Structure 1
Amino acid sequence: MGLGGISIWQLVIVLAIILLLFGSKKLRNIGGDLGNAVKGFKSAMKDGTEEPKAIDDKPAEDANFSADVAVEQEPEKTEK
């Protein structure tokens, strides 16, 4: 028995079918993309432990939501 009840021959057959379906070039590209994604994730996790860097020296301006806005109301319609 292999991994969790799966024998080595079953794994070989599954890998052969995947290779036939996708082809070796496509699998190589997928592997490279997956490797780059893992590398990017690791560097992002390492960068997350550092203090955030200031983009510029200007303080951030808060939005001003206190502006008075006049709302026009429609006249009520009366039925005759």
Structure 2
Amino acid sequence: MFGISPMQLGIILVIVILLFGTKKLRGMGGDLGSALKGFKKAMSDDDKEKDADFVANEKVENKSSESADNTVQQTKSEQKEHN
């Protein structure tokens, strides 16, 4: 219903080239490409950081539970010695 014909796209393209010029359009295309590349890199780095944070938190929790177990065992052994 509101489709754009190839003739209309051509006219729009010519107007855009006349307004901005080919150098400006080439620069804008390069900037857009760089922005997309940086966005993808940031997203993949963010996923890696989340995985690293999960592993680090898991190690901290394991160490905490081990130290808590050691404290309980020491307390029990001290109580047996006092009795």
Instruction: Please report the TM-score for the alignment, with normalisation by the length of structure 1.
Output: 0.59
Q: What is aligned with 2:18?
A: 20
Q: What is aligned with 1:44?
A: 42
Alpha-carbon distance, 1:51 to partner: 2.5
Count residues in correspondence. 51
Q: What is the letter of the counterpart of residue 16 of structure 2?
A: I
- % identical aligned pairs: 61
Structure 1 unpaired stretches of 5+: 54-80
Q: RMSD over aligned Cα, in angstroms?
A: 1.9
Structure 2 unpaired stretches of 5+: 53-83
Hey, which of these two has a bigger chunk of helix by percent? 2
The structure showing larger relative contact order (alpha-carbon pairs under 8 Å, at least 6 residues apart) is 2
Q: Deviations over 1:15-56 (max 9, x none)?
A: 100000000000000000000000000000000101267xxx
Any runs of at least 4 consecutive aligned residues in structure 1 with deviations exceeding 4 A, and if so which? none
Q: What is aligned with 1:30?
A: 28
Partners of 2:36 and 2:49 in 1: CA distance: 22
Q: What is the letter of the counterpart of residue 26 of structure 1?
A: K
Q: What is the letter of the counterpart of residue 47 of structure 2?
A: T
Q: What is the letter of the counterpart of residue 24 of structure 1?
A: T
